[in-house]
Amino acid sequence: GQQVQQSPASLVLQEGENAELQCNFSTSLNSMQWFYQRPGGSLVSLFYNPSGTKHSGRLTSTTVIKERRSSLHISSSQTTDSGTYLCALEQDTEGADRLTFGKGTQLIIQP
Amino acid sequence: DTTVKQNPRYKLARVGKPVNLICSQTMNHDTMYWYQKKPNQAPKLLLFYYDKILNREADTFEKFQSSRPNNSFCSLYIGSAGLEYSAMYLCASSREGALKRQYFGPGTRLTVL
C-alpha cells in the first residue's frame, strides 16, 4: 500500500484564511520533508522536520512520529502561496537515504 | 549557489531512440538523485549516486542508466525510449550529514512520440 498519504488532494481558500495540509505515513522514518512547487518551478524545500514543530514565517510544520503524521499550516494565506505542496518521508533503507513522496496537495488561494 | 541545474528543460524524443538528460550542481554534494514524476502521481525515485556508487531502484533497474563523471555532474540515460517514459524528470542532490535536505532542479519534461 501507499506509504505516504496526503490530504486534501486540493484546497481552495480565500486570501487571509488559514490552510492545514496533512501527511500520514505507514512506516518508520528518519524525517519528514515538506516541499513547495510553483507551476513550472522547482521543488523548494520548506521544512526538514524529524519531529516536533518548526516555524518559518507564516508556515508551521509539526511532525508527530508516534501518531505517524505530519502537518503543514499556512496562516493568513496569500495568493502567492498557491501551488503544489508535497510531503516526503525520508527513510534509511538498505544503507541509503530515500525520499518517498506523497501525491501532493494543490492549493489555490483566491483574492 | 544552492541551485541544481538541469538540461534540457524540455525534450522531445521518438520511440526507440536514446535519451540523455543532464544534471549539475556546484554545492559539492555527495549524493545526486533522479526522480520520475507523472501527472497526478508522486515523484518516484529511479536511482541515486552516492559519491561514485550507483544505486538503482529494483523496479526500474533495467530501464534507466546513469553516469557521474565527476562530483558536479550526473546524467540519466534511456537506451530506447517508450511512450511510458513521457514524464517530468527531477534531479536532486544532498550532502551527507545531520541535515540532509535534498535540493531539486527545475526538471526536464520528456515527451516521447
**B96: confidence class by pLDDT, cuts 50, 70, 90:** confident
| Span A8-58, pLDDT tens digits | 999 999 999 999 999 999 887 778 899 999 887 888 889 988 899 999 999
Q: Which three cell numbers stand for residue B48?
A: 541515486
In angstroms, the first-to-last Cα distance of chain B is 36
- Whether B87 and chain A come into contact, CB under 8 Å, resolves to no
User: For chain A, what are the domain ranges?
Assistant: 4-110
Q: Which of A19, A21, A25, A18 is nearest to A8 (CA)?
A: A21
Residues B104, A42: C-beta atoms closer than 8 Å: yes
Residues B45, A99: C-beta atoms closer than 8 Å: yes
B4-96 under CATH 3.30.460.80, yes or no: no
User: For chain B, what are the domain ranges?
Assistant: 4-96
**Residues in chain A closer than 8 A to B10 (CB atoms):** none
| Span B35-94, pLDDT tens digits | 999 988 899 999 999 889 998 888 887 899 999 999 999 999 999 999 999 999 999 998
The pLDDT of residue B112? 97
**Residues in chain A closer than 8 A to B42 (CB atoms):** 4, 86, 100-104
Q: Report how far residue A81's alpha carbon sits from residue A84's, in angstroms, rounded to the nearest whole number.
A: 9
A→B interface, C-beta within 8 Å = 4, 31, 33, 35, 41-45, 48, 86, 88, 90, 96-104
Contact B32, B17 (CB under 8 A): no
Q: What is the CATH number of domain A4-110?
A: 2.60.40.10
Q: Report how far residue A18's alpha carbon sits from residue A14's, in angstroms, rounded to the nearest whole number.
A: 9
Distances (CA, A) of B14 to B23, B83, B85: 22, 9, 11
Residues A45, B42: C-beta atoms closer than 8 Å: no
Chain A closest-CA separation from residue B34 CA (Å): 11
Chain B closest-CA separation from residue A62 CA (Å): 17
Q: Report how far residue A109's alpha carbon sits from residue A19's, in angstroms, rounded to the nearest whole number.
A: 9
